[in-house]
Structure 1
Amino acid sequence: MEKEKIITIANDFLVNEFEVDRDDIANDANFKTTLGLDSLDYIDMVVVIESNFGVKLGEADFKKVITFEDFYNTIEQKITEKA
């Protein structure tokens, strides 16, 4: 899957499922601060990511995510590993 498609799908579910303002999403923005998610939200995010991309992100994966760019790259890496 192309990275642009990953970004589009991810941004769409962040806006629709997690009520993030699309204007707040930027590649270099802090992922955790921008989203303000609690631990239950992360569980929901794992489910949404799996349903949209067919891959699972675990706690270790989220620990590496600082920016939205990191988030997209992590999803892209998981998709590549699965292929």
Structure 2
Amino acid sequence: MEREKIVDIANDFLINEFEVDGDEISNDAHFKKTLGLDSLDYIDLVVVIESNFGVKLGENDFKDIVTFDDFYTTIENKLADKNI
């Protein structure tokens, strides 16, 4: 899957399901601060990612996510690993 499609799908569910202001989403924006998610929201996020991309992110994956660019890259890498 192309990165542009990953970004479009991810931004769509972040805006629609997690009520993130689309204007606040940018590659270098701080992911966790922008989303303001609590621990239960992260569970929902994992489920939404899995249903949209067919990959599952674990706790260790989220430790490495600082910006939205990191988030997209993590999904992109998981998809690449899945297709090997």
TM (norm. structure 2) is: 0.98
Aligned pairs (5 A) from 1:10-49: 10-49=10-49
Give the root-mean-square deviation of aligned CA atoms.
Answer: 0.2
Task: Provide Cα deviations, 1:40-70, integer angstroms capped at 9, x if missing partner.
Answer: 0000000000000000000000000000000
Percent identity between the two aligned chains:
75
Q: Counterparts of 1:36 and 1:62 in 2: how far apart (Å)?
A: 14
Q: Hey, what does 2:74 align to over in structure 1?
A: 74
Structure 2 gap ranges (5+): none
Q: Counterparts of 2:63 and 2:40 in 1: how far apart (Å)?
A: 16
Count matched residues. Answer: 83
Runs of 4+ in 1 over 6 A off after TM superposition: none
Shift of 1:82: 0.3
Q: Hey, what does 2:57 align to over in structure 1?
A: 57
